[in-house]
Structure formats: structure tokens, C-alpha cells
Amino acid sequence: MTIVIINNFGQYNHRISRTLQYLKIPCKLMPNRTNINDIKKINPSGIILGGGPSIERIGNSKEYIKEFDVPILGICLGHQLIAEAYGANTRSSTRESYAQIELDILHENDLFKDLGDKITVWSSHKDEIESIPENFQILAKSDKCDIEAIKHNTKPIYGIQFHPEVQHTPKGPEIFTNFYNVCKK
């Protein structure tokens, strides 16, 4: 039951690993250039695509989305990569955000289970999803971003624009625990 964390060179990728370790969730942090077969050898129960500074440094991240039939959680750039892998576009945000914000949860779902309809999260991004891909729904929004969280309608694939791995997202550990519970199903 290992979750593979794909390091897309974002400033918080190691925090994802530390948070999962703190929660006693087995995980392995791997560079985004890792060969798909090397990840298959681990037989991950889930994949987390970490954030990153630019689309030019995504390595094999989009291939992981297409290749693996396990729960996937994309964070920040990982969220945008999921949208792009399924045919949506991203753009520079007109409302860049580097602050603690309030998230409106629009739909009851496994990722935000038992968190209520509003939570405080840390936002740190300059790009965003322009529109949701086909077969996805918007799970959450904020004043800074209309598409803060998405989920595939039939697969356990989630994307979140915000950062649950930092202390400025108080319910971040619960989000990771909820994702791990999805991976155990």
C-alpha cells in the first residue's frame, strides 16, 4: 500500500512526503523523470503529482496519468497536468494567489469527506485550469480561482489547485488521509 509521490520540482514536494510519513502512510518520493516500469515495480496503491514551477519541467508526469489505473491526486501543477491530460487548457491566472484563502466545497466527495462546506487552504500559484475537462466535475472554488478542485466522474482522479501539504492548510492532513482511504478501496 505505497503511494508514489511524483516530484515536479515544486518548493513543497518534500512536505508532501513528510506529511504522509507523519500520518504513517507508506510513500516514496520519486523524480518526474522516473521510468514508468520502475514505478510499476513498486505497484503503487495511488499516485500524488506534486507541484512545480513550470510546464517545461514535468518529465513523465502526463504519461503517469495515462498509464496507471490507481487513484491519482494532482496538487497545483499536478492538478493542471490532470486537466491537460484529459484535454482541457490551462492559462495564466488573472488573480494570482499567494495567501491563505477560504475554499468553498461545492459537492460532497471522498477527498473532502467530513471537512464541512468551507475550509482554509494555502494558495500559491500563477496558472490555473481554464475550463474543466469532459467527464470531470468541479468540487471546490474560491475567490481567487473558480476551479480549485476537480474529480473525474467515474475514476478516482482528483486535482486540487491549493497546497494541503503546508501548515497554512489546517485540514491538509485530513485531505491526505481521505485520499489514502480512497487508495485502500
Residues annotated catalytic, as ranges? 76, 163, 165
CB 118 within 8 A of CB 77: no
Residues 6+ apart with CB under 8 A from 123: 97, 98, 99, 100, 101, 142, 144, 145, 161, 162, 163
- 78: cell is 499536478
Q: Which residue from 158, 161, 149, 151 is spatially nearest to 93, judged by alpha carbons?
A: 161
Q: Between the CA atoms of 96, 149, 119 and 173, what dihedral angle is there, to the nearest 10 degrees?
A: -110
The 3-state DSSP class for residue 56 equals: helix
- 183: cell is 487508495
Place of cell 475514476: 155
